Amino acid sequence: MPGGNLGYIDIFELDHPFVEYIRRLNISGDSTKPWLYIARPNAGIFNYTRNPDGSIDYEWYEKGRKPFLNTVAFDGNVVNVMEISNDLALIETIDVKKYVPLYTYFNRPDLVHQFTAVTRHGRLYKAGNGISVYTPLLTRSPSVLPLESLEPFPTLPLKATVEWPAGINVRSLPGTTSAKLTAFPPGKEVTILKYHPRGAEVWGRIYSGYICLLMPNLPNPYSTSWKMTVDPPPL
């Protein structure tokens, strides 16, 4: 149904394979807390999970019932633009009418989003009381976004200069917990070859490993001369 300036709000029944996919995305080890957080009706994704009499159905998953998926807006996430026409960008999504993919947030952050919120002061934070919650970008028809709501990453390859006074670590994978390979001092020039967004962070692959380009919660979030116009980016 029309959503005014927000475009269209879509609500549809979700088949069990996709529900199970979302459930698995939100179970880490033995912890089911993220899934329990979003599986309750009115939590944000499954706002319209009801019994036949209209009452809230709190046991829909256990009883194998189809929930109603509600449109959820995201801030601070990335999308893959497939085509641009006039002032609209066609974005890549997962088609609920075709198949259940096995994408995760770490290998396709453009198709599996982390719940984040942007404060009025421009800070990103987790929207689930500090819990990491994920959902695939599901649609049943082509989806577009206005160009004004997007900021493209700078075109690659791109040369940048290390700016953090303490230098920057080069790691084996895009993440602060991965093995440290070496470190670059301030003034070192690097060539960014590919982007690897990780939630609020943006990592870049260089010839010798990965460096963190944007870490929003630091006083100086940018490690190099690589910059975004909007901080944080809107999507």
Q: Show pLDDT as tens, one digit a residue, over the chain (235 residues).
A: 223 344 556 778 888 889 999 999 999 888 888 888 888 877 778 877 888 888 888 888 888 888 888 777 666 678 889 999 888 999 999 988 888 788 988 788 889 988 766 566 656 566 666 678 888 988 888 888 888 878 888 889 999 999 999 999 999 999 899 999 999 999 999 999 999 887 668 899 999 999 999 987 788 889 999 998 765 444 3
The predicted model scores a pTM of 0.76
What are the distances in angstroms from CA 83 to CA 68, 74, 197, 200?
A: 30, 20, 21, 25
User: What kind of fold does domain 151-235 have according to CATH?
Assistant: SH3 type barrels. (2.30.30)
Non-local CB neighbours of 47 within 8 Å, separated by 6+ positions? 41, 68, 70
Q: Provide the 8-state DSSP code for 21.
A: H
- Name the segment(s) of the chain with CATH classification 2.30.30: 151-235
pLDDT at 212: 96
Q: For the purposes of burial, counting CB atoms within 10 Å of the CB of 150, is it exposed (0-12), middle (13-18) or buried (19 or more)?
A: middle
